[in-house]
Structure 1
């Protein structure tokens, strides 16, 4: 069959729970999830269909159908994130895939445009995703905003025990104090997911059944931090360490060090630009850094209206040219005005722009992942020294934190 006839035959439609088996089959094919993979994760008796069923229940899932066959799909989760203390509606893109025999028909590009338009309608001014291909998503307007630093600490280099007034208690994964701690943590950390029930379910979906939680309580019995971990074959695996105060961090590392006789190695990840080596007694450890999540601004005007720029001595204005590979409403010349309180207003139009930038670069700059000075040096923005100085003064110097996965 010719490609033109094939394009005439396919249709765009919502993917519903009745399509769960097809949704599952497409995910397994595209992401090459085998039965052995399921066994490794302890899911040999539980299909991805059930594991990802919440996607079909709570997310906006759309796909292309060839007759009754689902051939291409993506899903958008309704999430929220903390951006410099302001809570943003975020569209979490996931479940992206197309069968190879339907490749090069522009199906995914049309799906993404459809999804981004729906995000804009729902006031989701930013979208996050975990990339299977960074170059692919860059071409669609996403850019890296967070890193993952993986570390290994041998038992001989565990931190020495330090006195703290509180103690750690081991509890089940369902303990309510875990969410109490995380909720406080998330509003303190720029970039973090504000975890609703769906976000928690996604975060813990593929974890081993023997996951254990240690909660640090201060001397007033208030929960101040937690540790999600498991121990296997003399390795202490840290899934997540969350603490509201430094006392809790010390207490949790005391707890880890107390396993000295049981383990030979501690493995974990850090999701912010703060290497563990600096705060350990013996920092000569193995750490590897890799890009983690990407984001893209969906609606630049709405994003700017919510964005907390740094306070200034006086009102300031910036006129810039913006390009976007997919969204026409993010293209053109814009005038940004920021008042002394850090409130930004964006209007279309303006003369003599002093900055030329695209939507991926604007996203990573406003998220604080890369600074204007660096972006200008590597040619990602075209501007002058005065504008660089202005941008450095307007944007807060804080790296995003994001430890979730969906």
Structure 2
């Protein structure tokens, strides 16, 4: 058994496995389009006697963490031939992917799970949810007739990207999209677009959407201010004669129900993507902690069997300026051992997945401690609450 990155010679085998695993068939044109991206979206595979048995894509991406961009490895297309399943091939691939991400400086990894329980075993944990809202046409809000105008079918990526880049930093964990990502992943299959322009002609909001069977389906919506948001809503409401319902996919903190005169509409919270810290020491170093005016120091025990460079005990410090640092505690190191003894009542023990979920803002430390997912005292959990900035996780993308 051999694990290696696929080359151009493996492209057809890669497509054949993907088509079988995910039950689709690509046209010749679609295959060629994917071939052009093959070198930029690395695929790793398990080979046995020269045959591709299992594979995953490892996408080099970047995401916003409290407004700062860091590198992220996106895992996609995990698949195995049925006769090769349950032989540990995916386990080996995931561990090899973690090694590769560490080498590439990708401090985080995301994936969309077929099974949350399966990927939890390897350190990934839920970090974001979507709020799905369905509004019958008779419960749509009233028009506000705000100034400005909405233009349909704006497909200029620079215009859409300029709005997205400014709006998305309000959230934690969202992707910093490249122009090629917009072209190949976002706009590739969108039926309709609309952009709101203010009175000065500046683009301040957009919506990507479908209309099927009298349903308005919002694929993505972003705005920079309340006037821009209402401008888009006036546009949506103008479709009322041809709709029976408007469907939205929004961040969990979106206030839409408060803005409806009759908020008795269907709302669903949907767990979405999972994430995991790849390199704890480097992630803590890059993470912008809150500046609370004093330094903090903890003994941190991380459980991470699949990334052994994270596993073990660390001295975790955060400066008054919000700069974090992890120092590994080595066995038989007397200086560090003394430091750990001094931190006897300052100890935190946590699996890597829960640490990820906490630092990305999915759940607050006090909540995790109360539910038994963060092994520490109530006092220390409250200290972590103060150190970790509050920002809603949201990921509008899929891969």
How does the TM-score come out when normalised to structure 2? 0.92
Confirm or deny that 1:371 pairs with 2:351: no
- State the secondary structure of the residue aligned to 2:98: helix
Q: Distance in 2 between matches of 1:131 and 1:329?
A: 24
Q: 1:70 to 1:49 in 2, by over 3 A?
A: farther
Give the CA deviation at 1:204: 2.6
| Match of residue 38 from structure 1 | none
Q: Does 1:396 align with 2:389?
A: yes
Q: Residues 326 and 205 (structure 1 numbering): CA distance in 2 closer, same or farther, change over 3 Å?
A: farther
> Do the aligned partners of residues 368 and 247 (structure 1) sit closer, same or farther apart at CA in structure 2, a change above 3 Å counting?
same
1:312-367, Cα deviation, whole Å (9 max, x unpaired): 12111111211113011111111111111111111112332511101000000000
Q: Given that residues 276 and 352 in structure 2 are in contact (C-alpha distance below 8 angstroms), is that contact kept between their aligned partners in structure 1?
A: yes
Q: CA deviation at 1:105?
A: 2.4
* Higher mean C-alpha displacement, 144-153 vs 46-55: 46-55
Query: 2:263 aligns to what SS in structure 1?
Result: coil
Q: CA deviation at 1:103?
A: 2.1
CA distance 1:175–1:142, shift in 2 (3 Å): closer
Q: Give the TM-score, by structure 1 length.
A: 0.90
Match of 1:7 in 2: none
Aligned position for 1:303: 283
Q: Residue 93 and residue 84 in structure 1: after superposition, are their counterparts in 2 closer, same or farther (change >3 A)?
A: same
Larger deviation, residues 352-361 vs 170-179 = 170-179
Output aligned runs, 1:306-345, within 5 Å.
306-345=286-325
Q: Aligned to 2:13, which of 22, 38, 45?
A: 22
Matched, 1:383 2:363: no
Residue 51 to residue 96, structure 1, CA distance change in 2 (3 Å): farther
Matched, 1:92 2:74: yes
Are 1:219 and 2:199 matched, yes or no? yes
The match for 2:178 is: 196
Q: Is the 8 A contact 1:361 1:380 kept in 2?
A: yes
Q: Does the C-alpha gap of structure 1 residues 391 and 230 become closer, same or farther in structure 2, counting only changes over 3 Å?
A: same
- In structure 2, the residue matched to 1:126 is 108
SS at match of 1:328: coil
SS at match of 1:253: helix
Match of 1:165 among 147, 170, 187: 147
Q: Could you tell me how far apart the structure 2 residues matched to 1:157 and 1:46 are?
A: 45
Cα distance in 1 for partners of 2:106, 2:388 equals 21
- Structure 1 CA distance, aligned partners of 2:176 and 2:3? 31
- Counterpart in 2 of 1:250? 230
Task: Tell me whether 1:137 sits opposite 2:139 in the alignment.
Answer: no
Query: What secondary structure does 1:405 align onto?
Result: coil
State the Cα distance separating 1:46 from its structure 2 match.
5.6
Match of 1:111 among 90, 93, 104: 93
- CA-CA distance at 1:370 after TM superposition: 0.6
Indicate whether 1:280 and 2:260 are aligned. yes
| Cα shift at 1:245 | 1.2
CA contact (8 A) 1:319 1:355 kept: yes
Paired with 1:51 and 1:146, the residues of 2 have a C-alpha distance of 31
Match of 1:151 in 2: 133
Task: Tell me what 1:11 maps to.
Answer: 2
Q: Which residue of 2 aligns with 1:5?
A: none
Q: 5+ unaligned residues in a row in structure 2: which ranges?
A: 330-339
Question: Over residues 95-144 of structure 1, what are the superposed CA-to-partner deviations in whole Å (9 max), with x where a residue is unaligned?
Answer: 11111211232211111111111111111100111111111111010000
Give the distance between the partners of 2:150 and 2:209, measured in 1 at CA: 13
Distance in 1, matches of 2:219 and 2:248, equals 6
Runs of 4+ in 1 over 4 A off after TM superposition: 45-48
In structure 2, what is the Cα distance between the partners aligned to 1:96 and 1:218? 44
1:119-177 C-alpha deviation (Å, 9 max, x unpaired): 11111100111111111111010000110222211110111111322111112434531
Deviations for 1:205-238, whole angstroms, at most 9, x for unmatched residues? 7625xx1111011111111010101222211111
In the alignment, the residues of structure 1 paired with residue 170 and residue 388 of structure 2 have an alpha-carbon distance, to the nearest angstrom, of 17
Between stretches 227-236 and 272-281, larger displacement belongs to: 272-281
Partners of 2:120 and 2:88 lie apart in 1 by 16
